[in-house]
Amino acid sequence: MGGVIAEVKPGSIAAELGLRAGDEVLAINGRPLRDVIDYQFYSAEEALEVLVRHQGEEVLFEIERDYGEDLGIEFTAHTFDGIRTCDNHCPFCYLKGMPPGLRASLYIPDDDYRLSFLFGNFVTLTNLDEKDWQRLAEQRLSPLYVSVHATDVALRRRLLGNAAAPDVLEQLRRLRDLGVQVHTQIVLVPGLNDGAALERSVTDLASLYPAVQSIAVVPVGLTRYHRGRMRLYTAAEARDVLVRIASWQADFRRRQGVRLVYAADEWYLLAGQPVPAAGEYDGFPQLENGVGLVRRFLDEWRDVAAGGKRAVPRRPDGCGSLTVVCGILIAPLLARVADELAALSGATVKVVPVVNAFFGETVTVSGLLVGRDVIAALQGRHLGDGVLLPRVMFDAEGRRTLDGLGLEDFREALGLPVEMAGTPSELWRALFNGF
């Protein structure tokens, strides 16, 4: 067990020791390393004994350094002993609704609490053993992000497809007692965990505040490949869910000072209702889970537009016309922004919503668009001076779509400049500064 070095920063302690890419850091102060969390936790001392497999031999380096001074090591992976995978069988699991032909990493069913701590991935806590709990007690890995779905044990086991799933409330209480905070989500399935079941879940989770820092309610998403007997929510049902959430928010705000439970943006878009003001998100605790992203986008657009009204920074090499790609769900809102942008700039800004043929028309978010569907939707159209693709179509590094296409593939297929944008500022710069 140990971490393979990917890069050593020039001038760092590791560089002075002669460490190089390919060496393996095995232990620090006698503690074997399972992942970068162990590395960071055990390397916090000023005096270190670092065991490294260096050029095929194990070498123990004794290091004295200033407190907080970085050793200068980057690893090839965040976990050194593999990724803890999921042993649940949720009928709404997106992985089970994934067709072949996507990036290999997308088929890994991770359910690893370490990745939850590092990156905010949601986990179910169903695969923890006593060693994991001992580690949580020692290292206080907080916050964690937990998929609850239902607090009733029998119902949660049904939703997870796991008859042995432990009582999540007991686990959350244990995390509370360890000083670990959690952000939770409930993926809502029509007729299963909504209604009275949802009210019970929200009430149970709220009783654990402030250990439970937030509760996100997210509508189930289904591809055309899903095998369960489920359906999506209607607009009328979405409005009913929002009414319930608003009632709980008002109650929690009075009693606890925060709204605590938040609706994913999809509910507002589906219901045709405006998203709440920024102040109603209490600091956006679950932004990466799609809770408040639309509000952040609109507020940034307001600031960008205000600046544009004061001084339009158009340059001669800017775009006279621009095509903006998105998923079906966000298209009406983005079209209004495009109209305002066009009015400010005098340019032509066209929004092209793309139907998701790959996953199915029920998948309407921009983040699940694949490159081949986008190219098919754009070919043969007058696209103007360039195309902007949603940044959420691409991986974290901004390199590849779900089906492995990069920006160069789009440029070659469409024969004109193609870039990505994730914010109004990026859209603004593309229009006025060109590609």
Q: For 111-128, what is the mean pLDDT?
A: 96
- List the end-to-end C-alpha distance of the chain, in Å, as a whole number: 46
Tokens found for residue 292:
């408040």
Q: Does the pLDDT of residue 311 top 60, yes or no?
A: no
Cα–Cα distance measured from residue 318 to residue 345, given in angstroms and rounded to the nearest whole number: 11
Q: What are the tens digits of pLDDT across the range 172-188?
A: 999 999 999 999 999 99
Same-domain pairing of 229 and 306: no
**What pLDDT sits at residue 92?**
79
Q: What is the pLDDT of residues 355-365, one digit of tens each?
A: 999 989 989 99
Are 278 and 335 in the same domain? no
Position 110 scores a pLDDT of: 84
Three-state DSSP at 180 gives coil
Note whether 99 and 162 are same-domain residues: yes
Q: Give the pLDDT mean for 281-294.
A: 96
pLDDT in tens, 363-379: 999 999 999 999 999 99
Q: Is residue 389 part of a domain?
A: yes
So what's the pLDDT on residue 222? 86
**Residue 380 carries which DSSP code?**
T
Average pLDDT of every residue of the chain: 91
Residue 167: the pLDDT is 98
- Going by pLDDT thresholds of 50, 70 and 90, the confidence category of residue 315 is very low
Q: What pLDDT, on a 0 to 100 scale, did the predictor assign at position 89?
A: 86
pLDDT of residue 7: 96
Q: Is the pLDDT of residue 197 over 60?
A: yes
Note whether 232 and 222 are within 8 A (CB): yes
Domain end position, chosen among 238, 269, 290: 290
Q: Any idea what the CATH number is for the domain that residue 112 is in? A: 3.80.30
**Ranges 131-145, 320-334, 338-352, 398-412: which has the least confidence:** 338-352
* Residue that is last in its domain, among 290, 308, 335: 290
Same domain, 29 and 167: no
Q: Among the three residues 244, 267, 290, which one is the final residue of a domain in this structure? A: 290
Q: In this structure, are 262 and 227 located in the same domain?
A: yes
What number is the average pLDDT over the span 256-284?
Answer: 96
Do 152 and 269 lie in one domain? The reply is: yes
Number of independent structural domains in the chain: 3
CA–CA separation, 101 vs 402, rounded Å?
9
Residues 138, 279, single domain; the answer is yes
pLDDT band at 435 (very low <50, low <70, confident <90, very high): low
| Residue 79 burial (CB count, 10 A) | 19
Nearest to 202 by CA among 191, 217, 190: 217
On whether both 193 and 325 belong to a single domain, the answer is no
Task: Compute the distance between CA of residue 330 and CA of residue 305 in angstroms, rounded to an integer.
Answer: 19
Task: Give the dihedral of Cα atoms 432, 389, 116, 260; nearest 10 deg.
Answer: 70
Residue 206 falls inside a structural domain: yes
Most trustworthy range by pLDDT among 78-87, 200-209, 300-309 = 200-209
pLDDT at 316: 45
Q: Cα–Cα distance between 3 and 19 in angstroms, integer?
A: 13
Identify whether 386 is part of a domain. Answer: yes
pLDDT at 149 over 70: yes
pLDDT digits (tens, 9 = 90+) for 208-250: 999 999 999 999 988 877 766 789 999 999 999 999 999 999 9
Q: Is the pLDDT of residue 313 over 70?
A: no
| 87, part of any domain | no
CB 17 within 8 A of CB 8: no
Same domain, yes or no: 232 and 314: no
Query: Domain check: are 254 and 305 in the same one?
Result: no
Which runs of E-coded beta strand occur in 189-335?
212-219, 261-263, 321-327
Residue 364: domain span: 296-433
24-28 vs 31-32, strand pairing mode? antiparallel
Q: Is residue 277 in a domain?
A: yes
301 and 235, same structural domain? no
| Residue indicated by tokens 């956006």 | 284
Q: What are phi and psi of 214, to 5 degrees?
A: -160, 155
Per DSSP, helices labelled H in 120-167 are 130-139, 153-160
Whether 312 has a pLDDT exceeding 80, the answer reads no
Share of the chain above pLDDT 90, in %: 77
Q: Residue 49 is part of a domain; what is its CATH number?
A: 2.30.42.10
pLDDT for 101: 65
Model pTM score: 0.90
Answer whether residue 81 is part of any domain: no
Spatial distance between the Cα atoms of 41 and 50, rounded to a whole number of angstroms: 13
Residues 6+ apart with CB under 8 A from 429: none
On whether both 423 and 312 belong to a single domain, the answer is yes
Q: What is the CATH number of the domain that holds 416?
A: 3.40.50
Structural domain contains residue 89: no
Query: CA–CA distance from 300 to each of 124, 285, 312 (Å)?
Result: 34, 18, 17
Q: In what order do the strands lie in the sheet with 321-327?
A: 348-354, 321-327, 387-390, 418-421
Q: Band the pLDDT of 106: cuts 50, 70, 90.
A: low
Is residue 232 included in any domain, yes or no?
A: yes
- 3-state class (DSSP) for residue 421: strand
Q: Is the pLDDT of residue 78 over 80?
A: yes
Task: Yes or no: say if 79 and 115 are a contact pair by the CB < 8 Å rule.
Answer: yes
The residues with which 35 forms a beta bridge, in sequence order, are: 79
> 186 and 116 in contact (C-beta within 8 Å)?
no
